[in-house]
Amino acid sequence: MTNVLVPLAKGFEEIEAVSIIDVLRRAEINVFVASLDGNKNVTGANGITLQCDMEINDVSVDDLDMIVLPGGWGGTYALAEDENIQSILKQMDANGKNIGAICAAPYALNKAGVLKPNFTCYPSVEEKIDLDGYQGDKAKVVQEKNIMTSRGPATAICFALEIVKKLRGKEKYEKIKSGLLADFC
């Protein structure tokens, strides 16, 4: 089975995290939701608390096919500063494994040195990244090599569907997309 890690830190963007987790699980992808600080429950930017499956310390890169970071500034800063997350990102990139980030989270990829030149993110975050190749609103999802990025809460379902297409193929993508009535993606 395909394994994807979604790490959560206090202040994560709830729409993005839940959309990613939900869509990937509908596609029969095994999603590990991990907390950074050892708490089983992590509260997002808008006061919604999600329960995690595990702690980041228990993650083995060898078991992962992809890591996907939800945005939200509070969560993103924590992901950018967390040694475990930064190490996982570097290892995943070195091994050519898939990495995804949405909204502010490309900032954490940039901090790890794995963000590729063509990317998108939440408007204004690109100023903190200071890397040529920002695609803005040219696409909901931008992929370069093993890195996939997206803009924000409104693009979260499209982002998750693109992950499904990459990991499970076009047929599964079309099936999930149709079931979600996601014609806008």
Write the DSSP assignment of 149-179 as a string of letters. Answer: EE-SGGGHHHHHHHHHHHHH-HHHHHHHHHH
With a pLDDT cut of 90, the percent of the chain lying above it is 89
Structural domains in the chain plus CATH codes: 3-180 (3.40.50.880)
CB of 103 closer than 8 Å to CB of 128:
no
The Cα–Cα gap between 70 and 92 comes to 17
User: What pLDDT sits at residue 127?
Assistant: 85
- pLDDT tens-digit series, residues 100-115: 999 999 999 999 999 9
With a pLDDT cut of 70, the percent of the chain lying above it is 100
Options 103, 121, 158, 185, the catalytic residue: 103
The reply to whether 52 belongs to the active site is: no
CB of 33 closer than 8 Å to CB of 26:
no
pLDDT bracket for residue 133 (50, 70, 90): confident
Cα-atom radius of gyration of the chain, to the nearest Å? 15
